[in-house]
Amino acid sequence: MENSALEKIQDYYKSLSENGFSCLHITKKQYHFEFTVQKNKYNFKVLVYFGKKGVKTVIQGNNELKEYHEIDSIISGKLILPYNDEDIFYDEYIGTDETGKGDYFGPLVICGFYLNNNSQPFLQNIGVRDSKELTDSQIEIIASKIRKEFPNNYSIVEIRPEKYNQLYESFGNLNKLLDWGHSKVIENLLEKYPTKNVIIDKFSKTKISISQKMNYNNINFIQLTKAERYIGVAAASILARSTMNRWFSKMKLEGFNLHKGASAEVENDAKMIVQNLGGDNLYKFVKQHFKTTKKIFEN
């Protein structure tokens, strides 16, 4: 136990030093190792206890200070981006994110992931972060590990093009469609994990409609821009992106090597589909309300 405690506190010392904290030397006491951490004239102490009950980490200092939470985030992996003044730390929550809304081809995918203190270290260790910072191959590797380790912790709504076009016509607005998708995955997860906090990557200025339901009055719905700094939201973003990537891979196997986004290359891909399959079949591949559709048929 003593050796494990020493290795752990040495890891903390290295991580905090690399993130701009001033760390004094590690000292050994009768039942623990410790070192002092300094930043912005504030002092904190990190202690790692060892004994019959195992290894335990304690942070001493004013826990209302931003610097305290920065230390906590670095050694526990609760956040994956630098701490902001408005951030609050949650032991458990459902995080949601979506992908595909800016892509002419392919589905809109919304994912929710339930996270607690037991799942946080695993997600941190496998490199979970904002999916926009990862390559497609990295996304697939990490997503596969998440699916295997936490098969019941996530819910995905994949709205493929034909269904997307029907729903968009019904809702008449992308934000209303996103609201419906986020609400669906949140509701699916709340049935299994009645947590008090839900963190949503913000897509609209209006509150998500599920928060208006009477049976969810006691839940704290948090809508944030760049919410992927919360590792549970980042996990949802990776699973969503992986689901969309698999659709593109399936299309490639069927002979359609389609591009993402809404570029000139995408427009050329769509023109080829119209030429080969006819205009009516284009809607099986695309989100038809994009301006790209009008450009193709005007030409």
Reported as a single tens digit per residue, the pLDDT across 187-201 is 999 999 999 999 999
Provide mean pLDDT across the span 44-50. 94
Provide mean pLDDT across the span 93-112. 97
Mean pLDDT of the chain: 91
Res 202: pLDDT? 92
Res 63: pLDDT? 77
Asked if pLDDT for residue 186 goes beyond 90, the answer is yes
- For the chain, give the percent of residues with pLDDT over 70: 96
More confident residue, 226 or 165: 165
Burial class (CB in 10 A: 0-12, 13-18, 19+), 135: exposed
Provide mean pLDDT across the span 104-115. 97
Res 166: pLDDT? 96
Q: Which residues pair with 27 in a beta bridge?
A: 34
Res 64: pLDDT? 75
Task: Write down all domains in the chain, each with its CATH number in brackets.
Answer: 2-76 (3.30.310), 93-250 (3.30.420.10)
Phi, psi of 128 (to 5 degrees): -65, 125
As a whole number of angstroms, the distance between CA 228 and CA 234 comes to: 4
Asked if pLDDT for residue 278 goes beyond 70, the answer is yes
Res 35: pLDDT? 96
pLDDT in tens, 198-249: 999 999 989 999 988 888 989 999 999 888 989 999 999 999 999 999 999 9
Res 23: pLDDT? 94
Asked if pLDDT for residue 52 goes beyond 60, the answer is yes
Of 113-117, 159-163, 292-296, which range is least confident? 292-296
Of 66-75, 109-118, 170-179, 205-214, which range is least confident? 66-75
Q: Which two tokens stand for residue 98?
A: 């979506």
- For the chain, give the percent of residues with pLDDT over 90: 68
Contact 129, 228 (CB under 8 A): yes
Asked if pLDDT for residue 269 goes beyond 90, the answer is yes
Provide mean pLDDT across the span 104-119. 95
Provide mean pLDDT across the span 16-28. 91
| Percentage helix, strand, coil for the chain under 3-state DSSP, each rounded to 5 | 45, 20, 30
Res 295: pLDDT? 86
Asked if pLDDT for residue 82 goes beyond 80, the answer is no
Asked if pLDDT for residue 150 goes beyond 90, the answer is yes
According to DSSP H, which parts of the chain are helical?
2-18, 66-76, 120-125, 136-149, 161-171, 174-192, 231-253, 264-277, 291-298
Provide mean pLDDT across the span 115-138. 88
Res 250: pLDDT? 97
Asked if pLDDT for residue 273 goes beyond 70, the answer is yes
Res 297: pLDDT? 83
User: How does strand 42-49 pair with strand 56-60?
Assistant: antiparallel
Res 77: pLDDT? 66
Res 235: pLDDT? 96
